Structures are given as structure tokens and as C-alpha cells.
Amino acid sequence: MGMAEDDNTEARAQARRQERYCLFDTAIGPCGVAWSELGLTRVQLPEADRDSTERRLKTRSRGTRAELPPRHIKQLIAEIQRYATGERVDFSSIVIDLSKLSPIDREICAAARSIGWGATATYGDLARKTGTPGDARGVGQAMSRNPAPIVIPCHRVLAKGGKLGGFSAYGGAVTKERLLALEGVRVGDDEPLLPGLFSKERRSA
């Protein structure tokens, strides 16, 4: 294979990895998705406002530009919108491009995808499932790098003793608790604030 052919092969590979994105409204606020020819690359949960959500999505998905979504992404958007109303949705068939993650992070994300709607597991459970018992902290770090929350349901992964644990999305543990509440899972004594993720006080803070 000559140099020109090598260049063409790399150009085609880069084109397949090129990401596009779009924003859409849900019952929990404006969300976003990014995708490439290889699959879904990112799900962006609501930030403080729509502009902030778009900025975060563009920052995390380099080289992206806004574009009308293809049919399979439109279907995913509709499913996320249904999920945000508390409807049971199975995202296990969604193709996700996790090529930017390390092999162990991909394995941990795959384990997280096996946690069904309305169920939870602990960081320790996932550590044992992925052959790294005792590395619950490593699992937590992998979950913080999850590019597609909800589709890869890192909100269903709890700390030891059923405590919420951390959550890297805007709103932190509050967002995690509200996503669990959409699935009928209660952690703690606070009443879920539905359908939005945040109370008026928190939105205006």
C-alpha cells in the first residue's frame, strides 16, 4: 500500500469518527447527544441553561457541529424524552462508540449497561464483575468518564451501603437522585422534585 493510499485510509477513518450533535428538550431540561458514523459518542444532561448545555457538549465532543440527526439518532432522542417522563425505556441495543476510553473503562461501562431499569448495583459489585475486586474507587473513576449517561446508566451505580456516591454531571448527587426517582428508586428521605431535575431555588442559585 502506497503513501497516498495510507493517507486516504486515514482520512476515511477520521471522517467516520467526525462527530455531530444536536440539542433537544425533555421534561428534565435541555439535553444533547453527539454521534459519529461509529455510533453514539455522547449524551449531555442538562446544565444550568440551554446555552451551558450546548457549550459543555461541544467542549467534550471536539470538532463537532450542530446537525439534524439521522433516523436512528432521532429514535434515540425520542426514547430519552420518554425516559425523562418516567417511562421505562431499554437502551441496551444502542450502539455506542467508546473508542476514546481505555479497555478497562469500556469493560466497566459494559457492566454498568447490564443494570436494568429500576435496579441498582454498587461500585464494588461492578469491580467484582469486571475482575477487579477491591477496586471500587477505580470503578467510580471510570463512571465519571462515562460519555453517555442514561444510555450507560452510571446513575444506577451506588456507593457501599446503598449510599448515592458521586456523580459528575451538573447538579452532582442531586441529579443522580432525581434520575433514580424517575425509575421509582428512592435513596434518602427527600421527596423527588419531578418532572424537573432541580428545584426553583437550585435553578436560580
pTM: 0.84
Q: Do both 43 and 120 map to the same domain?
A: no
| Residues forming a β-bridge with 36 | 39
Q: State residue 61's pLDDT score.
A: 76
Boundary residue ending a domain (83, 116, 148): 83
Q: State residue 11's pLDDT score.
A: 55
Please identify every residue annotated as catalytic: 154
Q: Which CATH number characterizes residue 175's domain?
A: 1.10.10.10
Q: Do both 65 and 124 map to the same domain?
A: no
Q: Do both 127 and 193 map to the same domain?
A: yes
The answer on pLDDT for 181 being more than 60 is yes
Q: Are 83 and 40 in contact (CB under 8 A)?
A: no
Alpha carbon distance 166, 159 (integer Å): 8
Cα–chain center distance at 200: 24
Count how many domains the chain has.
2
Residue 89 belongs to some domain of the structure: no
Q: Which CATH number characterizes residue 49's domain?
A: 3.30.160.70
